[in-house]
């Protein structure tokens, strides 16, 4: 490959990495935590976990009340099943006649806008992963970021392809920190490349599918694509209301019949988590039950049934899927690692953290490449990148840890966790960015790393102290989710403390001609030149 071609690929790789890096850092860090969504959910909701009493017995009464008050809900109304984590409420969802989505839980007496829901901690961290907490457009932004991410992967592969094997084992610690960062960046990138390709492709598909469908539906398919896509991804056949009234089988009964049909079709298991009625209360009504199965690439499956007599209409589960449903399920399974056991979830967790490091180290390489080696005062673009890297990357880690702490201690002061996790996270993030501007990146990085370490350790220790009875009870019942979250929080606190020590050492003892030196403001040009010369020798 020509040198000019490699230089072009390097420029594209650098700028695509920089453009997408900050968003991807947050997405990968939050995505790593999301691998243990249910465990975090159990940890975050001690009261709900104590009083896990939601039941399907009252759902029928709730649905009858909803369709009586909102006749438009008869056309299509969905209801969630209780899952094995506390914040998964039993709730109904439907589109009202004015086009807005409504929801109502078992404990609510009236409907509210579905978009006005409060965020539980685990769900909020998940939202950070797929839309950065930005409503409406965040998911499309992440779709574009995934495309740029794919381009960065492709150019990075082409750059390193000739030296792939040699660079795989080239981790050279020493005084040359730029070379060490470069080696670490290359090694992690090469080892995790297959997974990054999966994440980039499936991430773009998950975020941009609806945009592409709407575009092609208008310009090429004359409005026929969206209905066809719904049929391709649903188990429900086309149904029509036949008039008159009919008694509906309850969600519990339909869920049980769907499970029976799924097992008979070869699924290893089937746990319903959501269902929807069409033409509720009328002749011709049908229902689609969605559930999860283990030991399969795509964990989600669906069974459609007649809602009046319960006979099975279609089955789309593991071992009995058509190509459309198999592909759609595989996209989710590959992206979220839901096709394996707990070992695979830990692997995805580590890959998430490694991915975050990959984008962080890419920014450091940009800074090291462009800094002036014999000059105390660094160029604006170097200082700006250092400030953004510390403020956004370390600041987001700090903000997420503070959010866990807020969820823990908020109820002690009368606050509802679901109402405070989002404002706490964004406030902490803004404070971290402002702190970085004020303290400058070298000192702010040390401050934020130590603060993140202290908060993370406090999350585990305080939860053990405040909810000791809950911890003892779950352990006695053989459930280790709560203890696991506490221990991981403390372990990550230790990791951040180690990074804080290393960063402080570099700030104090490292090259003064660097944005990472805390002595930079008092170094004269002469001493800087001397120090730089000494570093080179």
Convert the pLDDT of each residue in 167-182 to its tens digit. 666 667 666 777 777 8
Convert the pLDDT of each residue in 309-348 to its tens digit. 999 999 998 877 888 888 888 888 888 887 778 898 999 9
Convert the pLDDT of each residue in 131-175 to its tens digit. 998 988 999 999 999 999 999 888 888 887 777 666 666 667 666
What angle (nearest 5°) sits at the alpha carbon of residue 514, between those of residues 512 and 519? 40
In order of 111, 199, 367, 377, the CA distances from 24 in angstroms are 36, 11, 18, 30
Query: From the CB of residue 69, how many other CB atoms can be counted at a distance below 10 Å?
Result: 11
- The whole-angstrom separation of Cα 276 and Cα 286 is 8
Torsion of CA 516, 517, 520, 524, to 10 degrees: -120
User: pLDDT higher for 12 or 356?
Assistant: 356
Torsion of CA 41, 46, 48, 52, to 10 degrees: 90
Q: Which helix (H) or strand (E) holds 26?
A: helix 3-34
**pLDDT for 51:** 45
Contact partners, residue 51, CB within 8 Å, separation at least 6: none
Which tokens sit at 140?
């499309």
User: pLDDT higher for 483 or 161?
Assistant: 483
CB 287 within 8 Å of CB 83: no
pTM of the model: 0.86
CB 288 within 8 Å of CB 276: yes
* Matching residue, tokens 């909701």: 45
Q: Give the confidence band of 6 by pLDDT, cuts at 50, 70, 90.
A: confident
**pLDDT for 536:** 46
Which tokens sit at 220?
């090429």
Convert the pLDDT of each residue in 45-103 to its tens digit. 876 654 445 577 788 889 999 999 998 899 999 999 886 666 667 889 998 888 888 89
Torsion angles phi and psi, residue 156, rounded to 5: -65, -40
Contact partners, residue 152, CB within 8 Å, separation at least 6: 12, 13, 16, 17, 20
Domain ranges of the chain: 1-45+121-233+340-369, 54-119+237-333, 371-519
How far is C-alpha 103 from the geometric centre of its chain's CA atoms?
Answer: 24
């Amino acid at each position: 490959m020509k040198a000019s071609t490699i230089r072009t690929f390097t420029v594209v790789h650098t700028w695509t990495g920089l453009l997408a890096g900050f968003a991807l850092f947050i997405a990968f860090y939050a995505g790593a935590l999301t691998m243990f969504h249910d465990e975090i959910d159990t940890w975050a909701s001690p009261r709900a976990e104590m009083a896990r009493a939601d039941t399907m017995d009252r759902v029928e009464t709730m649905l009858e009340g909803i369709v009586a008050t909102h006749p438009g809900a008869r056309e299509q109304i969905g209801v969630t099943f209780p899952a094995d984590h506390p914040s998964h409420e039993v709730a109904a969802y439907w589109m009202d006649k004015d086009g807005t989505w409504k929801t109502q839980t078992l404990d609510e007496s009236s409907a509210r806008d579905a978009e006005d829901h409060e965020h539980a901690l685990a769900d909020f961290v998940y939202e950070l992963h797929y839309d950065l907490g930005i409503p409406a457009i965040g998911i499309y932004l992440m779709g574009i970021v995934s495309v740029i991410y794919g381009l960065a992967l492709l150019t990075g592969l082409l750059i390193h392809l000739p030296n792939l094997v040699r660079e795989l084992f080239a981790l050279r610690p020493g005084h040359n920190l730029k070379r060490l960062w470069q080696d670490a960046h290359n090694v992690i990138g090469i080892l995790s490349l297959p997974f990054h390709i999966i994440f980039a492709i499936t991430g773009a598909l998950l975020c941009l599918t609806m945009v592409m469908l709407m575009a092609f539906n208008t310009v090429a398919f004359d409005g026929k694509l969206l209905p066809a896509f719904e049929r391709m991804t649903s188990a429900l056949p086309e149904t029509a209301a036949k008039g008159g009234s009919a008694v509906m089988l309850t969600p519990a009964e339909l869920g049980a019949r769907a499970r029976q049909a799924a097992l008979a079709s070869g699924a290893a298991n089937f746990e319903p988590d959501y269902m929807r009625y069409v033409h509720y209360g009328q002749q011709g009504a049908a229902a689609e039950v969605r559930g999860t199965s283990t030991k399969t690439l795509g964990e989600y499956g669906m069974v459609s049934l007649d809602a009046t007599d319960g006979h099975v209409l279609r089955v789309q589960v593991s071992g009995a899927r058509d190509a459309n449903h198999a592909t759609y399920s595989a996209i989710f399974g590959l992206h979220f690692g839901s096709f394996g056991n707990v070992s695979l979830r830990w692997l995805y967790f580590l890959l998430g953290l490694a991915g975050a490091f990959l984008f962080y180290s890419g920014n450091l390489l940009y800074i090291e490449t462009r800094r002036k080696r014999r000059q105390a005062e660094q160029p604006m673009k170097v200082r700006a990148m250092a400030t953004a890297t510390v403020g956004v990357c370390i600041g987001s880690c700090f903000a997420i840890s503070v959010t866990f702490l807020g969820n823990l201690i908020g109820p002690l002061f009368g606050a509802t966790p679901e109402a405070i996790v989002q404002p706490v996270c964004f406030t902490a993030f803004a404070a971290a960015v402002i702190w970085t501007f004020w303290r400058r990146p070298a000192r702010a990085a040390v401050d934020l790393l130590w603060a993140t370490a202290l908060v993370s350790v406090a999350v585990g220790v305080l939860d053990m102290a405040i909810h000791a009875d809950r911890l003892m009870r779950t352990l006695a019942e053989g459930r280790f989710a709560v203890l696991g979250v506490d221990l991981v929080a403390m372990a990550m606190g230790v990791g951040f403390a180690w990074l804080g020590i290393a960063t402080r050492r570099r700030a104090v003892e490292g090259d003064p001609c660097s944005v990472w030196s805390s002595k930079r403001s008092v170094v004269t040009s002469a001493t800087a030149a001397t120090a730089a010369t000494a570093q080179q020798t």
